[in-house]
Amino acid sequence: MEEERGAQAQLWKHIYGFADSLTLKCAIDLGIADIIHKHGGPMTLQELASALPIPTVNIDHFYRIMRYLVHMKLFNLIIDGEKKYTLTPASKLLLKDQDKSLASFALLQYYEMGAWNYLSAAVEGKTTPWEKFHGVSYRDYFEKDKKANQLLSDAMTSHTSMVTAALVRGCQSSGILDGVRSLIDVGGSTGVAARAIAKAFPYIKCAVFDLPHVIATAPECAEVERIKGDMFASIPKTDVVFMKSVLHDWDDEDCIKILKKCKEAIPENGKLVIVDIVMDVQSTYEFTGARLGMEMDMLITVGGKERSEEEWRKLIETAGYSRYKITPIVAIESIIEVFP
């Protein structure tokens, strides 16, 4: 009986797994976390309902959605004279207009969700589920659709801003960028990480390097040079090549080509600093589920992959580097220093 109870509970949890995801989307769409934050303290259901950006509210339906969100620990329900809702540490990460926010990254996932219906196409391996669903590759799709590209850019920006705070702390405590004079953020998109590194380490001359259409959207910043280029062709010379969430987009063959181009760009005493996921499927570490989710995301969208330490080691050795060092940070990614 116990076993069956557990089995039923497990399956129901998975069957309604999408309910967590899409109720979270509803909270983001309605801006519930921002409303409570702006209010500056606990709010009753009625107060919250009056502040929603919609003309009429069915209070019973809204109550039921809030009940689900409280169950998800996105909001607390406290007694403060009457029942009132407050933010939790998780919903604080949904607030807009702040560095630490995962709201835009979540919104991108809902946009991409259709392709998940074609996951079985990945098993066949001839095409990505994204191509099966949309008829074009992920990269071509976002390059052509400006609105979708803005969504992608916002998602990467918000995710990177959050990781960058942890990354800077990790670099400061482990001395990873000590003595470095120049750094290029390859595939650095609009330069969020490069700007944060330039601010935290003002003695480093920083640049962001990306495809021309991406660099065209990167904001001007006196401390960060913007360089248009193709990492498969050549990367300008620098002490450190920095690459965040780039290699996970590519298969092993392309990663080796990119890694070799990075090696050509750095001196013997230079290094490559990769910020990417190191998969730990055996562990019950709190980020394992998110890492596996991102790994499926790569399989479905761009046909890339998240790699275990062993898989990273093979890539790094094949590309001709001598050694590497992994430093975990407070993020789903780790820092992987790679030495020529």
Buried b (16+ CB within 10 A) or exposed e, 144-182: eeeeebebbbbbbbbbbbbbbbbbbebbeeeebbeebeb
d(CA 15, CA 339): 46
Closer to ligand SAM by CB, 91 or 104: give it.
104
- Spell out the alpha helix ranges (H) of 175-308: 192-200, 212-215, 252-265, 288-300
Closer to ligand SAM by CB, 35 or 214: give it.
214
Tokens for 294? Answer: 């991102």
Closer to ligand SAM by CB, 42 or 187: give it.
187
Closer to ligand SAM by CB, 165 or 211: give it.
211
Residue from 238, 245, 301, 334 in contact with ligand SAM (CB under 6 A): 245
Instruction: Report, in Å, the least distance between residue 210 CB and ligand SAM.
Output: 4
Instruction: Report, in Å, the least distance between residue 231 CB and ligand SAM.
Output: 4
Instruction: Report, in Å, the least distance between residue 314 CB and ligand SAM.
Output: 22
Residue from 80, 230, 251, 264 in contact with ligand SAM (CB under 6 A): 230
Size of the site for ligand SAM (CB under 6 A): 15
- Is 248 designated active site? yes
The greatest distance separating any two alpha carbons of the chain, rounded to the nearest whole angstrom, comes to 67
| Closest C-alpha among 94, 57, 54, 59 to residue 74 | 94
Closest chain position to ligand SAM (CB): 187
CA distances from 224 to 90, 195, 216 (A): 32, 6, 14
Instruction: Report, in Å, the least distance between residue 248 CB and ligand SAM.
Output: 8
Options 29-37, 90-98, 227-235, 318-326: segment touching ligand SAM (CB under 6 A): 227-235
Site string for ligand SAM, 72-111 (x = CB under 6 A): ----------------------------------------
Contacts (CB under 6 A) with ligand SAM, residues 152-211: 156, 160, 187-189, 210-211
Buried b (16+ CB within 10 A) or exposed e, 12-48: eeeeeeeeeeebbbebbebbbbbbbbeeeebbebeeb
Chain centre to alpha carbon of residue 134: 22
Tokens for 224? Answer: 């960060």
Instruction: Report, in Å, the least distance between residue 110 CB and ligand SAM.
Output: 18
Options 71-79, 102-110, 112-120, 225-233: segment touching ligand SAM (CB under 6 A): 225-233
Instruction: Report, in Å, the least distance between residue 206 CB and ligand SAM.
Output: 13
SS3 label, residue 219: coil
Residue from 74, 115, 246, 299 in contact with ligand SAM (CB under 6 A): 246
Contact 293, 320 (CB under 8 A): no
**Interacting residues with ligand SAM (CB under 6 A):** 156, 160, 187-189, 210-211, 214, 230-232, 244-246, 249
Residues noted as catalytic: 248
